[in-house]
Chains A and B, each alone.
Chain A
Amino acid sequence: MTDRALSGMRILDLTQFEAGTTCTQFLGWLGADVLKIEPPGGEQSRRNRPEVPGLDAMFFLVFNANKRSVMLDLKHPEGRALFLRMVEHADVVVENFAPGLMEKLGLDYERLRAVNPRIIMARIKGFGLSGPYHEYKSFDMIAQATGGVMSVTGFADREPVRCGAAIGDTGTGVHAAAAIMAAYIQRQRTGEGQLVEVAMQEVVANFLRGRFVDHYRDGAASVRRGNEITGGVPGDAYPCAPGGLNDYAYIYVQTMNADMWRDFVTAIGREDLLADPRCTDARTRWQHRDALNDIISAWTRTRTKHQVMAELGKAGVPCGAVLDTAEILDDPHLNARGQIHTIEHATRGRLRLPGSPVRLSASPAPTTPPPLAGEHTAEVLAEVLGLSTDEIAELRARGVVAP
Chain B
Amino acid sequence: MPKALAGIRVVDLTQYEAGPSCTQMLAWLGAEVIKVEPPGGEAGRTALSDKRGEDAWFFLLLNSNKKGVTLNLKAPRGRAMFKALLETADVLVENMGPGAMERLGLGTEVLRQLNPRLVTASVKGFGGGGPYAEYKSFEWIAQAMAGAMSMTGAPDGPPTKAIGGLADTGAGLHAAIGILAALVQRQTTGVGQQIEVAQQDAVVNLLRIHLRDTYANGRPVPRQGNRSVNAAPSNIYRCRPFGPNDYVFVHCATVEMWKTLTAIVGRPELGDDPGYADRRDRVKFIDEIDDMIEAWTEKRTKHEVLEILASAGVPCGAVLDSAEVLSDPHLTSRGMIVELKHPTRGTYPMPANPVRLSDSPTEVVRAPLLGEHNAEIYGTLGYDVAQLDTLRREGVI
Contact = CB atoms under 8 A, between A and B. Distances in A.
Contacts of B328: 146
Interface centre among A51, A59, A195, A333 (most CB of B within 10 A): A333
A158 B204 contact: no
Given A250-B149, A320-B144, A149 B130 contact: no
A326 B220 contact: yes
B348 interface: yes
Interface string A219-248: 011111111010000000101000001101
Contact of B163 (A7, A199, A211, A237): A211
B158 A237 contact: yes
Contacts of A343: none
B141 interface: yes
A198 B133 CA distance: 34
B113 interface: no
B220 A327 contact: yes
Interface in A141-176: 141-156, 158-167, 169-171, 174-176
A158 B180 contact: no
A360 B169 contact: no
A208 B214 contact: no
Interface stretch (B79-87, B99-107, B183-191, B383-391): B183-191
A49 B351 CA distance: 37
Contacts of A4: 185
B177 A178 contact: yes
A323 B164 contact: no
B161 A237 contact: yes
Contacts of A132: 329-330, 333
Nearest to A310: B131
Given A325-B150, A333-B132, A320 B222 contact: no
B162 interface: yes
B275 interface: no
A325 B165 contact: no
Contacts of A213: 48, 50, 56-58, 61
B146 to A, nearest CB: 7
Contact of B206 (A171, A198, A245, A329): A171
B163 A182 contact: no
B6 A189 contact: yes
A194 B183 CA distance: 19
B316 interface: yes
B8 to A, nearest CB: 8
Given A18-B209, A185-B184, A326-B219, A320 B351 contact: no
A158 B225 CA distance: 11
B136 interface: yes
Contacts of A5: 181-182, 184-185
B164 A196 contact: no
B174 A164 contact: no
B322 A145 contact: no
Contact of B230 (A49, A141, A246): A49
Interface string B238-250: 0000001101110
A334 B212 CA distance: 18
A178 B25 contact: yes
B36 to A, nearest CB: 21
A195 B358 contact: yes
Interface centre among A4, A18, A314, A322 (most CB of B within 10 A): A322
Contacts of B366: none
A144 B30 CA distance: 28
A245 B223 contact: yes
B355 A217 contact: no
Interface residues of A, number: 151
Contacts of B154: 154, 158, 161
A339 interface: yes
B130 A337 contact: yes
A164 B251 contact: no
Interface in B5-60: 5-8, 17, 21, 25, 29-30, 47-48, 50, 56-58
B206 A205 contact: no
Nearest to B354: A202
A132 B310 CA distance: 11
A402 interface: no
A12 interface: no
Contacts of A22: 208
A329 B211 contact: yes
B369 interface: no
Interface stretch (B69-77, B194-202, B264-272, B374-382): B194-202
Contacts of B257: 137
Interface centre among B7, B218, B359 (most CB of A within 10 A): B359
A143 B319 CA distance: 9
A197 to B, nearest CB: 4
Interface stretch (A123-131, A273-281, A368-376): A123-131
A51 to B, nearest CB: 4
A145 B174 contact: no
Contact of B180 (A141, A144, A181, A328): A181
A358 B195 contact: yes
B336 interface: yes
Contact of A164 (B210, B215, B322): B210
Contacts of B29: 178-179, 182
Contact of A192 (B8, B208, B359): B359
Contact of B168 (A162, A196, A210, A319): A210
Contacts of B168: 210
A226 B213 CA distance: 26
Contact of B62 (A146, A194, A210, A248): A210
Contacts of B149: 164, 237, 248, 250, 322
B336 A202 contact: yes
A199 B4 contact: no
B245 A221 contact: yes
A323 B77 CA distance: 46
17 contacts: A30-B177, A155-B160, A160-B236, A171-B170, A185-B5, A188-B187, A190-B359, A192-B359, A211-B163, A211-B164, A212-B57, A217-B57, A220-B323, A246-B150, A319-B135, A320-B140, A358-B195
Given A58-B216, A319-B135, A320-B141, 8 more contacts: A136-B316, A149-B162, A182-B4, A207-B170, A237-B159, A318-B137, A328-B146, A337-B129
